[in-house]
Structure 1
Amino acid sequence: MLLRRVAAALVFVFALGWATPANAAVRVLYYDASQAQEFVAVVNQGAQIWNAKVTNVRLEPVPSGRTPNIRVYADNGWPRTYTSSLGNGYWYMGREAVNQGYYKPRIAAHEFGHILGLPDRRTGLCADLMSGSSAPVSCTNANPNATEAATVNRSFGTSVTVAPATYVWAG
């Protein structure tokens, strides 16, 4: 009888350990870069940058027959993002920033950062991905820093919601 109780307690404790948010399933967000024109490869690179830095969410190209969470376009304006909720929305790879010399992978990773719930921070620091265009044009850091990655992991490790917003890369 005691052995059964101990075994049941161990099973319960083991099950609790596997049910914690740290072990929650990775949320997959599908993106459609088919209208990103000459920037498709850099959009894919931006997604891979985030995939290498966070564990609770994964950005994947949309498979055939599935509706994407994220759509990516290209135009002649500034890069900008329109979110509808955490992990959902669309963004533009704006040629104006590219033509001014901003690093394309940084732009793509930055715009994905908005979809992942991060606001612009305008710190001017190259080390901060979400500093955006406030960092020097010469900045080639396309990786989120530890705080940015931890914030995304925390957001996707819970059921937090983020209000719709618009983010425009300011020149």
Structure 2
Amino acid sequence: MNDWRHALLAIYADADHLLEAFRCSASADCCHFAWTGREPSVTLPEWLLIERAVRSSGRRLTAAPPDRDGTCPFLSPDRRCRIYESRPLGCRTYFCSRAEGPGQVPRRSLQALVPRIRELSEALSPRDPSPAPMTSWLKKTRGRQPGGGGDTRRLPALAGGRLEQAPCRAARREK
């Protein structure tokens, strides 16, 4: 497994751990960008993980924009996430009003994960580490093969010293 992938999965595991007491209603409302007024911003390492997930499932990435209603291009017709295990941090941490949990979402702890992803993105792409809307990545990567690169020596530190993959929280997934 690539070092950047280990590092990103460790960050995702931390996010999932912080949110394990919360339950998503699996309404898929958050997957309708026009309804929420919010499209997830995705960093290079997050996008590379999405590319791998799509290609390993036998599907191809297309530059198709979201549906007219602003539906995420990775939402299946039966309202399941096609990239659930590889969904970006913005999708993992978005909660609609239907979310249930023991109290307040641990926003400060979740915000502490953002610099780790930013540093990981800088290690992979020092010239352009900025996140971009998910649909922008679809347009940028049309015809490009997934890859990586950059200086990966600092990745174990960016992963918080943990490089194991942890299971994701339970929610509706495409089967």
Q: Which has the higher strand share?
A: 1
Larger RCO, structure (CA 8 Å, separation 6 or more): 2
Query: In which range does the TM-score fall when normalised by the shorter chain?
Result: under 0.3
TM-score with structure 1 setting the length: 0.25
Name the larger-Rg structure.
1
TM-score with structure 2 setting the length: 0.25
